[in-house]
Amino acid sequence: MNVYPVPSRVNGYDGAGLVMAAVSHGEAVKLAYLRDICPDYDGKESPSDWLVWGGGVKNAV
């Protein structure tokens, strides 16, 4: 898993929660919170949740 810095200037960033990020030059530039894009999300904040709630990625890993 890659970890990238998220500058505070990114719109909508509140400092907590799993996000899917568009990355440019090693820095997040646009975010989508898992809790906002998956209505059935259970609130668990572990990276493995992306494999469950991220839309079928689990079988590709």
pLDDT of 57 reads: 39
| Domain residue ranges of the chain, discontinuous segments joined by + | 1-61
Consecutive 10-residue runs of the chain (61 residues): their mean pLDDT?
63 67 77 75 65 44 35
Where are the strands (E) in 1-59, listed by range? 19-24, 27-33
Q: What global pTM score does this model have?
A: 0.44
Residue 4: phi and psi, rounded to 5, are: -120, 145
Contact criterion met (CB below 8 Å) for 52 and 45: no
